[in-house]
Structure 1
Amino acid sequence: MRGIGQVDLQPALLTGVFILAGLWVAGWEVGLFATLGTLIATAAAYAFNVDRGSIALGLQGYSGCLTGIALVVFLGNHVATYILAVIACILTTILTATISTLATPYGLTALTAPFCLVSGAMVLGAPSFERIWHGGSTAGPTSGDTGVTWSDLWHAFFNNVSQIFLVGKWYVGLLMLIGLAFAGVRVLLAAVLGSVVGIFVAWALGAPTAVIAQGIYGYNAVLVAIAVGAVFLANTVWNACYALFGAGVATGLTASITSLFKPFHGHTFTWPFILTTWTLVAAVTLLPRLRRAGT
Structure 2
Amino acid sequence: MNFFRGIVRAQGQIFLQAGWGPAVFALAAMTVASAWFALAAMTVASAWFALAALAGAAVQAGCALALAGWDDARGLHRLREGGTRAPSGIPGPDPESSRVGARALARSRAGVIPAEVDQGLHGFNGALTGCAAVLACGPGIPAALWTLAGSAVCALIVWGAPKLSWPESLPLLTGPFCLVNSIAVAVAVPFERTQGAVVPLGSPVHDVLAGAVRGAHQVILGGSVLGGLLVLAGMFAAGWRAGVWAAAGTLVGTLAGFVGIGQGPAASGLLGYGAMLVTVALGVAFPARGSRILRIGVPVLAAALTVPLWWVITAVGVAPYTWPFVLVTWTVLALRSRQWRAGEARHDER
TM over 0.5: yes
Structure 1 residues 207-222: aligned runs within 5 Å: 207-222=261-276
Matched, 1:280 2:332: yes
- Name 2:23's counterpart in structure 1: 16
- Name 1:201's counterpart in structure 2: 256
Gaps of 5+ in 1: 128-134
Write the letter of the residue equivalent to 1:217. Answer: L
Contact kept? 1:120, 1:267, Cα under 8 Å: yes
- Name 1:132's counterpart in structure 2: none
Pick aligned residue for 1:4 from 11, 36, 45: 11
Distance 1:221 1:102, change over 3 A: farther
- Name 2:145's counterpart in structure 1: 83
Where does structure 1 differ by over 6 angstroms across 4 or more consecutive aligned residues? Answer: 142-147
- Name 1:124's counterpart in structure 2: 186
Structure 1 residues 34-73: aligned runs within 5 Å: 34-49=41-56, 51-73=113-135
TM-score in terms of structure 1 length: 0.86
Q: Distance in 1 between matches of 2:176 and 2:186?
A: 15
Distance 1:271 1:136, change over 3 A: closer
Contact kept? 1:76, 1:137, Cα under 8 Å: no
Larger Rg: 2
- Name 1:130's counterpart in structure 2: none
Write the letter of the residue equivalent to 2:246. Answer: A
Contact kept? 1:100, 1:109, Cα under 8 Å: no
Contact kept? 2:255, 2:266, Cα under 8 Å: no
TM-score in terms of structure 2 length: 0.73
Q: Distance in 1 between matches of 2:182 and 2:166?
A: 24
Contact kept? 2:199, 2:268, Cα under 8 Å: no
Identity of aligned residues (%): 29
Q: Distance in 2 between matches of 1:140 and 1:52?
A: 37
Structure 2 SS opposite 1:269 = coil
- Name 2:89's counterpart in structure 1: none
Structure 1 SS opposite 2:238 = coil
Q: Distance in 1 between matches of 2:162 and 2:255?
A: 34
Q: CA deviation at 1:277?
A: 0.2
Contact kept? 2:201, 2:267, Cα under 8 Å: no
Contact kept? 2:209, 2:251, Cα under 8 Å: no
Range with bigger deviation, 154-163 or 77-86: 77-86
Q: Distance in 2 between matches of 1:254 and 1:267?
A: 9
Range with bigger deviation, 94-103 or 153-162: 94-103
Gaps of 5+ in 2: 1-7, 57-111, 344-350
Distance 1:213 1:103, change over 3 A: farther
- Name 2:66's counterpart in structure 1: none
Q: Distance in 1 between matches of 2:273 and 2:161?
A: 23
